[in-house]
């Protein structure tokens, strides 16, 4: 196994999404935000152009001291103070003192998160689009075939494979539409300064915010350091998406039962004691991930409650839960496509 990966990751995880969220990616995004902030402040006249140039040059090949960052994280509850101290040691004086001018840790962490989410959402949109294409192809190939509908686990009335597929396709299309719109509504800068009103930037606050958004190709927004509804709404959407994929998985597992035999699963999971079995592993994991994400999203909703102008507790809770939701969603999209490739609809 690769470092920091477990056997369970091979079943339920997603290496690509994990790599977009790991410490290296997060710190790289934070460094990018700091450079963009310096450039925006120079354009607004808050610092000099020479200061911004020196900051960008000093951080061009920045490599953090991870042990020091870990000590700082444990001490401060956020990595930015230790990270900024390290970055300043790589920048010539007196330009180094212009780094992070007017900003607070949350500005850097939250805006870096938006850069990471931009890449994650692009992966989700691509995977979900391909999944829908594959479902449409299944509909073309198998849709006219008859099968029995079941209500409350009992035979109901005859209908078609197309009717079954429609119960998966329709909500997945809705999720894709919302996911694509989320790229515009969610991916905005966070820039508020220590108390969230941009007063630390003096008269330059609005100009710096506009410049930062332009530098990073993110949307402009009012400070939202304690208003986490966009992030939690996004996670709720992912809960709906994995829930729909869980419904797909549950249906496939039932359809693959020997007594029903509407579908067979090529290359299903084996048994250590019953060689004849082909277990619907990927379908089952889709169900598990749907239930797991539902619980995580419920926990993340607790991070809505910030005390006054910042809550370390709510912020830490968000850090604990949001990455797991993103990785589980990536895993579910990955497994759903694998499962569709295994399905054969029986005559």
pLDDT score of 239: 98
Mean pLDDT of 236-250: 98
For residue 268, is pLDDT > 80? no
- DSSP letter assigned to residue 117: H
What pLDDT digit, counting tens, does each position of 139-162 carry?
999 999 999 999 998 988 999 999
Mean pLDDT of 81-109: 97
Contact 144, 233 (CB under 8 A): no
CATH code of 307's domain: 1.20.200.10
C-alpha distance from residue 29 to each of 168, 180, 193, 292 (Å): 36, 22, 18, 28
For residue 271, is pLDDT > 60? no
C-alpha distance from residue 224 to each of 60, 227, 236, 241, 262 (Å): 29, 5, 18, 25, 50
Total structural domains within the chain: 1
What pLDDT digit, counting tens, does each position of 163-191 carry?
999 999 999 999 999 999 998 899 999 99
Contact 43, 86 (CB under 8 A): no
For residue 261, is pLDDT > 80? no
What pLDDT digit, counting tens, does each position of 203-227 carry?
999 999 999 999 999 999 999 999 9
For residue 38, is pLDDT > 90? yes
pLDDT score of 276: 61
Instruction: Count CB neighbours of 170 within 10 A.
Output: 11
Asked whether residue 75 is domain-assigned, the answer is: yes
3-state per-residue secondary structure call for 54-94: HHHHHCCCCCCCHHHHHHHHHHHCCCHHHHHHHHHCCCCCC
Selection from 120, 121, 107 nearest residue 36 by Cα: 107
Nearest-angstrom CA–CA distance, 294 and 225:
25
Asked whether residue 324 is domain-assigned, the answer is: yes
Asked whether residue 32 is domain-assigned, the answer is: yes
What pLDDT digit, counting tens, does each position of 283-329 carry?
999 999 999 999 999 999 999 999 998 888 999 999 999 999 999 99
Asked whether residue 1 is domain-assigned, the answer is: no
pLDDT score of 347: 65
Domain that holds residue 245: 7-345
Asked whether residue 125 is domain-assigned, the answer is: yes
pLDDT score of 262: 78
Asked whether residue 34 is domain-assigned, the answer is: yes
Q: If you write DSSP's letter for every residue of 198-248 in order, what string do you get? A: SGGGGGGHHHHHHHHHHHHT-B-----TT--HHHHHHHHHHHHHHHHHHHH
Q: Which residue has the higher pLDDT, 284 or 345?
A: 284
321 Cβ neighbours under 8 A, 6+ residues apart: 235, 296, 299, 300, 303
What rounded mean pLDDT belongs to the chain? 93
């Amino acid at each position: 196994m690769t470092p920091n990966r477990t056997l369970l990751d091979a079943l339920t995880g997603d290496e690509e999404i994990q790599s977009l969220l790991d410490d290296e990616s997060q710190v790289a995004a934070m460094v990018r935000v700091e450079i963009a902030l310096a450039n925006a402040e120079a354009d607004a006249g808050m610092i000099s152009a020479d200061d911004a140039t020196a900051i960008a040059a000093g951080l061009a090949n920045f490599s953090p001291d991870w042990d020091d960052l870990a000590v700082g994280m444990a001490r401060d509850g956020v990595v930015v103070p230790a990270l900024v101290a390290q970055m300043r040691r790589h920048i010539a004086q007196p330009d180094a003192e212009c780094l992070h001018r007017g900003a607070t840790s949350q500005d850097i962490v939250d805006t870096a998160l938006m850069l990471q989410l931009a890449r994650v959402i692009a992966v989700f949109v691509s995977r979900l689009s391909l999944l829908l294409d594959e479902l449409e192809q299944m509909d073309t190939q198998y849709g006219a075939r008859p099968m029995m509908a079941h209500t409350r686990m009992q035979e109901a009335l005859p209908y078609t494979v197309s009717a079954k597929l429609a119960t998966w396709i329709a909500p997945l299309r809705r999720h894709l539409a919302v996911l694509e719109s989320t790229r515009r509504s969610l991916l905005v800068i966070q820039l508020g300064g220590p108390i969230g009103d941009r007063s630390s930037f003096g008269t330059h606050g609005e100009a710096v915010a506009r410049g930062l958004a332009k530098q990073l190709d993110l949307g402009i927004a009012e400070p939202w350091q304690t208003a986490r509804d966009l992030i939690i709404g996004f996670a709720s959407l992912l809960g709906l998406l994995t829930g729909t994929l869980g419904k797909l998985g549950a249906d496939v597992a039932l359809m693959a039962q020997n007594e029903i035999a509407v579908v067979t699963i090529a290359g299903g999971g084996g048994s250590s004691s019953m060689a004849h079995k082909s277990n619907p592993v990927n379908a089952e994991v889709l169900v598990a991930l749907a239930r797991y994400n539902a619980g995580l999203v419920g926990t993340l909703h607790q991070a809505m409650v910030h005390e006054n102008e910042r809550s370390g507790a709510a912020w830490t809770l968000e850090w604990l839960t949001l990455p797991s939701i993103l990785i589980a969603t990536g895993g579910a999209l990955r497994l759903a496509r694998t499962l569709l490739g295994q399905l054969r609809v029986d005559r």
